[in-house]
Amino acid sequence: MLKSELVDLLVSKSLKVSDKPVYNLASGRKSDVYIDCKKTTQSAHGMVLIGNLIFSRISDLDVDAIGGLTLGADPIANAVSYTSRIKERDINTFVVRKTAKEHGLKKTIEGDVKKGSKVVIVDDVVTTGQSTIDAIHKAKEFGLEIIKVIVLVDRQEGGKEEIQKECIDFESIITKQELLDAYHKKADTEGATPRKSARNDALLQC
């Protein structure tokens, strides 16, 4: 039920669909589908769903903390950590900076972790997998032991396979196809034709 609710929320808040590839992805590719997960991950409703869904997948693991490359991973990690405290199974958070600070301790990893901490790496969307792999490499350089990688949405464009080359357990909560299936089902129910007009696209933009 939680996953179905999260799919619906992502469709209503985060999914944009066009009849041609007009969206520029971080990978440099153009696509007819864009998933702005932050509209969902930074909503109160989304945080409750995400926190519980991911916590249920890692609560039995020997994990000290959860985090990933800022900014996509931050609200996800925070939601899971908050949920863990409610469930009386504390899981701390950490942030992987894109570049090290130029002052202070000049750290790439921030948060309640230390060398040897067992962690889960999270991300909001994986396309090529490069940002997640960047987080993995930085975490390893810091001395963290990575137990698992969890992404909220897998765009199914090769990122999963690239991450698995790092010999790390990978799991996605939702796939792009599941979002599109829900999008088309919603459009059929409402009597609309997906991708038929610019108005449909505008209705999906938040």
For residue 205, is pLDDT > 70?
Answer: no
Contact (Cβ atoms closer than 8 angstroms) between residue 172 and residue 132: no
Q: Domain spans of the chain? A: 2-200
For the cut 50, the answer to whether the pLDDT of residue 39 exceeds it is yes
- Name every residue whose Cβ is closer than 8 Å to that of residue 86 and which is 6 or more positions away in sequence: none
Lowest mean pLDDT among 13-17, 36-40, 155-159, 194-198: 194-198
- The CATH class for the domain spanning 2-200 reads alpha beta
Quote the Cα angle for 90-92-173, to 5°.
90
**Residue that has been written with the tokens 């989304």 in this structure:** 46
Per-residue model confidence (pLDDT) at position 198:
38
Going by DSSP bridges, is the β-strand pair 65-69/33-35 parallel, antiparallel, or unpaired? unpaired
Residue 57: pLDDT over 60? yes
- Taking only the tens place, the pLDDT of each residue in 99-150 is 887 666 678 999 999 999 999 999 999 999 999 999 999 999 999 999 999 9
Q: Are residues 172 and 160 in contact, defined by beta-carbon separation less than 8 angstroms?
A: yes
The pTM assigned to this predicted structure is 0.89
